[in-house]
Structure 1
Amino acid sequence: MADPRTTKPLARLLRYARPHRRAIRAATLYSVLNKVFDLAPPVLIGAAVDIVVSREDSFIALLGYAEVGAQLWILAGLTLAAWAIESLFQYAYALKWRRLAQTIEHELRMDLYRHVQGLELAYFEDRSTGGLMAVLNDDVNQLERFLDDGANTAIQLVTTIVVVGGLFLAVVPSVAWMTMLPMPVVIAGSVWIQRRLEPRYAEVRERVGQLNGHLVNNLGGIATIKSFTAEDYEVGQIELRSRAYEAANRSAIRLSSAFVPGIRMVIVIGFAAILVYGGKLALAGELNLGVYSVLVFMTQRLLWPLTGLGTLLDQYQRAMASTTRALDLLDTEAKIVSGEVALAVEDVRGEVSFEDVEFHYGRTSEDAAPVPILRGLSVRIEAGQTVAFVGATGAGKSTLIKLLLRFYDVVAGRVCLDGVDVRELELPSLRRAVGLVSQDVFLFHGTVRDNIAYGSFDASLDEIVEAAKAAEAHEFIMALPEGYDTVVGERGQKLSGGQRQRVSIARAVLGDPPVLILDEATSSVDNETEAAIQRSLERITKGRTTIVIAHRLSTVRSADRTFVLERGRIVEQGTHVELVATGGLYAALWRVQTGEAA
């Protein structure tokens, strides 16, 4: 199958918009009919001139209305009818195109967001949030602007050429060729400009993505910027990216702006030729004066809209550059694909096993070999057991969690839940069965209640309160200005680190997962908060499989079994007492943390 990315952007867009074929046809028909009736006034002006000059011999007189006054009233009626019908179709096409633009914009944005949500974690780690935001928002909006106005303009331009050109060929074929003379030049110039604008606008969209990425990054790290008094530096960084965006735009604008003046000169030559040659025919009596009037007006109607091709091409190329980025994102294939085995949470026992697991992240460059993180690791965790993984930073502890949740897939071996390879499980089933409390707590901008109920959206207030009590969060929540309805701010910035951690624990408890993961859950809290969290963890870990990742060995003393990792391998395992007595790596870490050794 051909790569869709090699297909022209317009063809890809039309393929995406295929479900809206009927609406597109209707909108196109309204645009065509509007332009047909919009071209009526020049004909009616010519008829008026014909009445005044020819009187009883005018064209309308041939229809059986010899009296000049009656002819004028008929002409007035036709004028009113043409304007009314033209206005009706203008309303119809504007309504249809705008609705269509809004619908496609909404569907594309939702399809993109839905697709992005299904991509693996590695995809997001390799890309900036701002760059994705530029595609999901700016690029989709750019496409909407083109559909809202540009599509109608293009259709009406083609309609004008066909209708007026056909009229000239039918009525005055001897002059029609003059009208058509500028067309090849205009079309050739349009194609030439389009080919050169395409890479320029692709560069514009790339630059705006980089600018957005840096802006989002800076706003997220504003506290760090302020603490290091780096405001001026970051202003300089944004200025560099904004200047690059400006330069890319300037390059495209310089080319697109040159198009209109050139086309105008080509058009005016054709228009002047019609004025002179047609005028001579009229003076010689070979061309009716009314027809000559229509010819002049229609020539203006035919050729002058071509000067808008520059703006139209500008809109089109911007839209196609945005379409390419949006549809490329939509065509990005997920590397982590859901399995087909469904698991009901209440049926999960919670037995977890890592069987001869090997894993490495992607290469840092084309020449670099992947760095192994886990090497032949095998661990079996019984249902209802509490186990801990400890070791130095980079030993592979958190990677185990990512493999269990299928944020990544193993390179070799397998990870199982209740004896089933996690790659065979439906992703929603797997992740509902495993609750995660991370050291990097993320709270959404909303109320405390909303954040605890996140993932358990139909939970009642009583259930939320019970979960908060289990996490020892209820007391501090009730002390907040509006209790459970207090807004926590973006990323929970209105709460302390310990408060955010307890809200996170309550959120995990509310889902009642059979497997609970605590990834450095107490690493960034004070001793008092740690003690409170430890008390709550002792309660909530009962009756479920619990996996604890920790640096502080004091937090895992009560674990049923502790595994010590070093360079991706299990080097020691046992209870706290057994490991201290062994005198190995764990014992050395314990002595350092208790102050017995440097």
Structure 2
Amino acid sequence: MANNITGKTYDWGLLKRVFAYAKPYKAVFAWSIFLTLALAALAPVRPYLIQLTLDKFVFFNDSSGLLNMTLLMIGLLLLQTLVQYYQTLLTNTLGQSVIKDLRIDVFNHITKLRLKYFDKTPIGQLITRTVSDLETIADIFSQGLISIVGDSLQIITIIAVMLYADWRLTLIVLVPMPFLMIATYIFKEAIKSAFQDVRNQVSALNTFLQEHISGVSIIQYFAREEQEYKKFKVINAEHRDAHIRSNWYYSIFFPVVELIVALSLGLLVWYGSKSILTNQVSPGVVVSFIMYINMLFRPIRELADKFNTLQMGMVGADRIFTVLDTDEKTPNTGNLVLPQMRGEITFDQVWFSYRQTEEMPADNEWILKNISFHLKAGETLALVGATGAGKSSTINILNRFYEISKGQVLVDGVNIRNLDINYLRSHIATVLQDVFLFSDTIQNNISLNNPAITLEQIIATAKDVGAHEFIMRLPGGYQYDVQERGATLSVGQAQLISFIRALVHQPKILVLDEATSSVDTETEHLLQNAIEKMMEGRTAIVIAHRLSTIQNADKIIVLEKGEIMEMGTHQELLKLGGYYKRLYDLQFASAGIVK
């Protein structure tokens, strides 16, 4: 995407969106502009005072006047220092305040995107957008547009003062200016491309690191350290080369500028000396022009860099707003909140495909085909089938993580599209096979920092599922930090914590997605007791490969390639002698059990 972003420096629509985030900080913004203008106005004053000092006091040996002018210049320096300090402070404060608000909006937007978006977007790319791309937007305020305006005004002011002092000297000084403008333009275009390449390489590096650090166990299991190391060396080298290219342009540009400045200074000394000898100009004017040259060429030299800073800020803004403009949210189509949810679930001729287009998907793209079942409040439904049969898709649809293509899903007789989505999800608790725990305390992992959930409630729930004793054996008990993804806990312990998390939120509907498939038989027995406690008085949907765990379910559905092949109780399905019976016999035979 970023490769195609060019010329965004002048995208005023994009710039307007960025500056809209500065509205809450109007006072800071106004003061930043005022101080920038003040710096531009103060810039030529000091050289002019030096000119007056030389011409009117030094050459006439006026020590009293010299002292007064010296004190005046010291006062001016202090004023300029103070103005520069507050201008820098305010512009940086403005930039950081804007990206703070933007980062909040981006994070809030990302957390509400449907799962389909994350299926196709690398997490490392989103991290780059939310962190480093946003930092470039801060530079729009601290080093970009405001600084460009200030430098431009300073250039105009200095040239005006120089013309007023001596137009002939001014023209001589400006003779090398076209060469500087050409060099600046070439540098600006070259560095723009280099900076874009740097941003792309940063994104690629972040994506690679995020994926490979998260999956480091897989790398080690399969002894892929050396191969992944070689891949990383290539990506890291490309990242280095991109930075070197950008630095190379600087190493060419700045010496060229210094050469042009020296040429302008040489012309000034040549023509100024002749003019002094012929009394056409005073020595003070020539000295002041030396200072004007430095003040004139410094902002011109920096303008190219600041234009590219602005350019990169706009590239970052374009990327950020692309994320914010992503229409991948599950629409909150309803605002209905039931007086009391019972947990009755109905799937009515539901068809689903991950390919959501205006055209209907092909036959082989359907994940679920004409799924219909009814589950009374408090009943338990078990979903059985091979990998890819559509079991997990069924519960994702219930949570509205994905939208169905045809049919309807009802909860308590109401289409879930008519229910407020936050209300719906707050009454559905899901326990997954792969438990995700944050790098935080056990208490916060259970409550998810919900202040309405007290430690007493958590302890009571932990006792119900049989997890209180193992938690109290940990250092700090419920304040124990589980580290990233619960790395310091066993699989069974992490699963028990996820059970407590599900129960403490008091859901009406409980979803267990192969919640015991990753643990040993002994731990599974402990978890099974916890599951029975969890299911009491709740509607439950259980996905399980081990049929021994679902024999007491009120209804079992056998899915194959997205279609319902069989439906009934455990005993009813055994009597059918079909798919379920074959799967049941296979599992018992593999376990060495003779019936």
Counterpart in the other structure of 2:209: 215
In 1, Cα distance between equivalents of 2:493 and 2:197:
45
Q: What is aligned with 1:488?
A: 482
Q: Which amino acid is the alignment partner of residue 567 of structure 1?
A: K
* Alpha-carbon distance, 1:53 to partner: 5.9
- The secondary structure found in structure 2 opposite 1:55 is coil
Change (3 A) 1:21 1:184: farther
Q: Secondary structure of 1:354's match?
A: strand
Change (3 A) 1:28 1:117: same
| 3-state SS in 1 of match to 2:367 | strand
- The CA distance in 1 between the partners of 2:449 and 2:371, in whole Å, is 32
With over 3 angstroms needed to count, the CA separation of the structure-2 counterparts of 1:432 and 1:44, relative to structure 1, is same
Q: Would you say 1:40 and 2:32 are equivalent positions?
A: no
Instruction: Please report how far the alpha carbon of residue 557 of structure 1 lies from its aligned counterpart in structure 2 after TM superposition.
Output: 0.6
Give 3-state SS (helix, strand or coil) of 1:329's partner: helix
Of the structure 1 ranges 137-146 and 112-121, higher mean CA displacement relative to structure 2 is found in 137-146
Please state if 1:543 is matched with 2:545.
Answer: no
Aligned to 1:61: none
The one-letter code of the counterpart of 1:15 is: R
Structure 1 residue aligned with 2:107: 113
Matched, 1:328 2:322: yes
What is the CA–CA distance in structure 2 between the aligned matches of 1:316 and 1:6, rounded to whole Å?
A: 12
Q: Which residue of 2 aligns with 1:50?
A: 55
In structure 1, the residue matched to 2:74 is: 80
Q: Is this contact kept in 1: 2:192–2:311, CA < 8 A?
A: yes
Tell me which residue corresponds to 1:63. Answer: none
In the alignment, residue 16 of structure 1 is paired with which amino acid? V
Letter of the aligned partner of 1:80 in structure 2?
I
Displacement of 1:297: 2.1
Distance verdict in 2 for CA 1:178–1:153, change over 3 Å: farther
Match of 1:361 among 330, 354, 357: 354
Contact 1:445–1:492, Cα closer than 8 Å, also in 2: yes
Corresponding residue for 2:169?
175
Greater mean deviation of Cα atoms: 509-518 or 177-186: 177-186
- Name the residue aligned to 1:448: 442
Q: 1:6 to 1:308 in 2, by over 3 A?
A: closer
Query: 5+ residue gaps in structure 1?
Result: 57-67
Q: Is the contact between residue 455 and residue 511 of structure 1 (CA under 8 Å) also seen in structure 2? A: no
**What percent identity do the matched residue pairs reach?**
32
- What residue in structure 1 maps to residue 426 of structure 2? 432
Q: Would the aligned equivalents of 1:562 and 1:576 in 2 still touch at CA under 8 Å?
A: yes
Displacement of 1:392 in angstroms is 0.9
Alpha carbons of structure 1 residues 90 and 596: separation in structure 2 relative to 1, 3 Å: closer
| 1:7 positional shift | 8.5
1:502 aligns with 2:496: yes
Partner SS, residue 589 of structure 2: coil
Structure 1 residue 145, shift from structure 2 partner? 4.8
CA contact (8 A) 1:558 1:576 kept: yes
2:32 matched residue in structure 1: 27
Q: Which amino acid aligns with 2:369?
A: R
| 2:520 matched residue in structure 1 | 526
Is 1:69–2:63 an aligned residue pair? Answer: yes
The Cα shift of 1:172 comes to 1.9
**Alignment partners' CA distance in 2, 1:117 and 1:187:** 47
Q: How does 1:221-370 map to 2 (within 5 A)?
A: 221-343=215-337, 347-362=340-355
Q: Where do residues 12-23 of structure 1 align in structure 2 (5 Å cutoff)?
A: 12-18=14-20, 19=23, 20-23=25-28
The letter for the 1-side match of 2:215 is G
Q: What CA deviation, in whole Å up to 9, does each residue of 1:532-580 have, x standing for no partner?
A: 2222222221222111111111111111111111111111100000000
CA distances 1:464-487 after superposition (whole Å, capped 9, x unpaired): 011112222112112223221221
Task: Tell me which amino acid in the other structure corresponds to 2:8.
Answer: K
1:422 paired with 2:427, answer: no
For 1:374 and 1:170, the matched residues in 2 are separated by 81
What amino acid sits opposite 2:55 in the alignment? D
Residues 359/185 of structure 1: CA separation in 2 closer, same or farther (3 Å cut): farther
Letter of the 1:359 counterpart: F
- State how far apart, in whole Å, the 1-side matches of 2:382 and 2:554 are: 8
Q: Residues 259-291 of structure 1: CA distance to partner in whole angstroms, max 9, x if unpaired?
A: 223333334333333332333223221223322
Partner of 1:441, secondary structure, is coil
CA drift at 1:207: 1.6
Q: 1-side partners of 2:552 and 2:487: how far apart?
A: 33
Instruction: Map Cα deviations across residues 47-84 of structure 1 (whole Å, 9 max, x no partner).
Output: 1210246539xxxxxxxxxxx23322321232122112
Question: In structure 2, do the counterparts of structure 1 residues 156 and 37 end up closer, same or farther at CA, with 3 Å as the change threshold?
Answer: same
* Structure 2 unmatched runs, 5+: none
CA deviation vs aligned residue, 1:229-255 (integer Å, no higher than 9, x gap): 322222212111111212223333333
2:352/2:405 contact within 8 Å kept: yes
Q: Relative to 1, partners in 2 of residues 1:200 and 1:376: Cα closer, same or farther, differing over 3 Å?
A: farther
Check 1:39–1:6 CA distance in 2 against 1; reply closer, same or farther (3 A cut).
closer
2:188 and 2:305 in contact (8 A); partners too: no
Question: Aligned partners of 1:157 and 1:394: how far apart in 2?
Answer: 62
1:190 maps to: 184
Distance (whole Å) between structure 2 residues aligned to residue 282 and residue 536 of structure 1: 98
- Deviation at residue 191 of structure 1 after TM alignment: 3.7
* Greater Cα offset, 397-406 or 410-419: 410-419
Cα distance, 1:96 vs structure 2? 0.6
**Which residue in 2 is equivalent to 1:65?**
none
Residues 16 and 310 of structure 1: CA distance in aligned 2, closer, same or farther (over 3 Å):
closer
CA separation in 1, counterparts of 2:19 and 2:86?
20
- Aligned pairs (5 A) from 1:138-149: 138-145=132-139, 147-149=141-143
Q: CA deviation at 1:516?
A: 0.7
Deviation, structure 1 residue 518: 0.7
How high is the TM-score relative to the length of structure 2?
A: 0.91
SS at match of 1:595: helix
SS at match of 2:541: strand
Return closer, same or farther for 1:537/1:311 CA change in 2, 3 Å cut-off. same
Q: Tell which deviates more after alignment, 236-245 or 75-84.
A: 75-84
Report the secondary structure of 2:201's partner residue: helix
Using the TM superposition, name which of 299-308 and 233-242 deviates more. Answer: 299-308
Q: Kindly indicate whether the alpha-carbon contact (under 8 Å) linking 1:37 and 1:83 is maintained by their aligned counterparts in 2.
A: no
| CA deviation map 1:321-345 (0-9, x unaligned) | 333322322222224222231426x
Matched residue SS, 2:259: helix
- 1:527, distance to aligned residue in structure 2 (A): 1.4
Instruction: Report the 3-state secondary structure (helix = DSSP H, G, I; strand = E; otherwise coil) of the residue aligned with 1:109.
Output: helix
Q: Which residue does 2:452 correspond to in 1? A: 458
The aligned amino acid for 2:47 is P
C-alpha distance in 2 between matches for 1:177 and 1:419: 85
Q: Give the counterpart of 2:95 among 88, 101, 105.
A: 101
Residues 124-151 of structure 1, C-alpha deviations (whole Å, 9 max, x = no match): 1212222211221122233335643455
Deviates more, 1:167-176 or 1:207-216: 167-176
Residues 357, 178 of structure 1: CA spacing in aligned structure 2 closer, same or farther, 3 A cutoff?
farther
Root mean square deviation, CA, Å = 2.6
